[in-house]
Structure 1
Amino acid sequence: MTTRDLYITENRGESLGMITEFSSAEERFQNATIRPILKLQNDLFIEVFKNYITKHKNDFYSYSIEKKNQFIEASIQKDIKFRNALKGMVIGLFTVEEYAEYLKNSSNLNKRMMNMLIERLKSQLMLFESQQAS
């Protein structure tokens, strides 16, 4: 393991979620790699999304909760450049070994990654509101 890989694994935190002998390779990767990275990068994702709102839909803050959730989902699913930037923020914290594992099933792992990020942002709508007020 390289110095970079060691640094990454030591500093991003423990696995999140259950990993059992019955877990699929995707579930193991999700819980051991993707979830800890999403948690570590959470503050950055919030700031990046706030910037996205400012540049694309400044009236986001006047939307209903349902419309805000729809906007979060649509922005990540339909804006390819934005989605790729978010994916890069996650993939950049993979070890070399994890990246090799990711490449084996990147399409499904990307779907899992983006769905978890969407849910993470939706669950923090109140945080957006409190930060907007300050």
Structure 2
Amino acid sequence: MNNRDEALLQLRGEAIGEIFPQSSKDEIFQNRTLRPILKLQNDLFIESFINYVNKSKSDFYNMGTEKKMAFIDNAVHKDIKFRNALKGMVMAMFTVEEFREYILNSSDLNKRMMNMLIERLKDQVQLLVNPK
């Protein structure tokens, strides 16, 4: 393992969530890799989403909670450029070995990653305020 990988693992900390002998490879990857990265990168995701909202010229800040939730879903699922930027923020924190594991099942892992990120944004909708 190289210095970059060691530094990343130390920065991210321990797995989040339990890992059992019967856990699937995707579930193990989720708890060992994705959850710690999402937690570490949380502030960046919030700022990125606020920037997305401001550039989209939407009325997000005046929407009700339900509409905000739908906007978050739509932004991450439908806007490919935004989704790819979010994926990049996560993947940049992978070790080389994690990247190798990720590319073996990237489709399913991307779904997990984006669903967890959507839930993270929704859980923090009160932080998504206009910085102006």
**TM bucket by the smaller chain?**
over 0.9
Unaligned stretches of 5+ in structure 1? none
Structure 1 residue 14 displacement after superposition: 1.1
Q: Give the total of aligned pairs.
A: 132
Structure 1 residue 57 displacement after superposition: 3.5
The alignment-based identity, stated in percent, is 61
2-structure distance, mates of 1:81, 1:116: 18
Bigger RCO (CA 8 Å, 6+ sep): 2
Q: Which residue of 1 aligns with 2:38?
A: 38
2-structure distance, mates of 1:13, 1:60: 34
Q: Which amino acid aligns with 1:121?
A: L
1-structure distance, mates of 2:107, 2:36: 20
Q: Which residue of 2 aligns with 1:5?
A: 5
2-structure distance, mates of 1:108, 1:12: 22
Give me the TM-score of the superposition, normalised by structure 2: 0.97
Q: Which residue of 2 aligns with 1:69?
A: 69
Give me the TM-score of the superposition, normalised by structure 1: 0.95
Q: Which residue of 1 aligns with 2:124?
A: 124
Q: Which amino acid aligns with 2:13?
A: G
Give the RMSD, CA atoms, in angstroms. Answer: 1.1
Q: Which residue of 2 aligns with 1:25?
A: 25
Unaligned stretches of 5+ in structure 2? none
Q: Which residue of 1 aligns with 2:49?
A: 49
Q: Which amino acid aligns with 2:23?
A: S
Q: Deviations over 1:63-109 (max 9, x none)?
A: 01000000000000000010000000000000000000001100000
Residues 133, 110 of structure 1: alpha-carbon distance in 2 compared, 3 angstrom cutoff: closer
